[in-house]
Structure 1
Amino acid sequence: MDTLKQDGFISLDLDLPIWERFFTVAPLVVVGTKEDEGYDLAPKHMVTPLGFGNFFGFVCTSRHSTYHNVKKTKEFTVSFPRAEQIIATSISASPRKGETPKSLGIIEALPIVKATTMNAPLLRDSYLYFECKLFKIIDGFDGYALITGTIKAVYVHRDYLRVSEGDDQLQLKQNPLLAYIANGRFAKVSDTYNFPFPKDFKR
């Protein structure tokens, strides 16, 4: 095996954060939690399924309320916004003003509904919802943590539900997905293609 030829490549200094030096594609979700007498919503893009079971995780920091809310209540929601909800998703990142709870300002201005199995908010009109019980929090990633949960309820809008006889390409064309282009951009994903899996490929 040949060693990487570095012509055309730039080696980055690992003593500095690398993630703002290039673009990557990520999902964009809004995590909802109960906070004292109100609620909190926060957009997240460092999110992922954990295996093929009903587990989900996202990265957060103990400097944010979301971390402490989940640690206290042991639950959280995940809303997957539609592409046209980018403004509402962005507003959910607005910082609180002083000691004023976020739910008395930003949250009251956002369209929310209550989860079915827990006292936590969901972003109304999203296409996919998870209601999660805390599984475990893994600290130690330079001030960040991986918060993992077991999905206890899931709801998907019928327009986004995959069906065996459906046309995947047409479905995504008509119902584009919202993606975060880290860092600082977003995209509507509507042009998709079948992945060329090798013959006899198995998961």
Structure 2
Amino acid sequence: MIKRYILVLIFSIITLLSYGQKKEFKPEWNVGVGFGPTFSSVDFQVTRLSRGPSTKNMLQYHGGVAIRYLSENHLGFIAELNYSQQGWEQNFKEDPEYAHSHQLNYLELPFMTHIYFGKKVRFIFNLGPKISFLLSDSEKMNQALADYLSSGNVPATMATHQYYRMADKKIDYGLIAGMGLEFRTAIGNFALEGRYSFGLGDIYNNTKSDVFSRSANRVISAKLTYYVKLF
């Protein structure tokens, strides 16, 4: 699936470059600030246990600054520096009396190819890699779950490695894909975008002797960015 997206992106860039060179175009630099909600979860896969923790989306927020360079007609690049709240809330479907969540706070640097169509109202599509540095993380657990974990009745097949344990890895990386609309006005440009972030790194160690073979961030987010033209 990822390879398919990359091939589509490469083909789109080549097509747009060929089309853009036929028209006169003046490159444009923009600087912006953006903010929006994140709906984050973690994909847990276990190595030896019969079942791993199930997670559901946790509502948090992200925001930061952006620099955008429109290099060709319909094509440009975006670099951002964001503070992004991620993590997970465990899904206790069969045991609703339990509650557990883990928040991960990242400094995030995406670098994306920017494709757009239109003039005053533009359809936008962004795709590219990101790298993140973990600033801090924190855990919340209700008393019912804490009592259960200390009772000695937890089955050996249940994954408990994620409790009372901070992230092992400070560096995370992945891919971001987003699409939305941009409204260009006399006071600046407003880009409203929905994004999906696919984590390629893991939160916890993932060797054969570790509990989790996979513990990757998954983030759905929305972002409103206000851009002003520099030159």
TM-score, normalised by the number of residues in structure 2: 0.24
Work out which of the two has the higher radius of gyration on C-alpha atoms and give 1 or 2: 2
More helix by share: 1
TM-score, normalised by the number of residues in structure 1: 0.26
More strand by share: 2
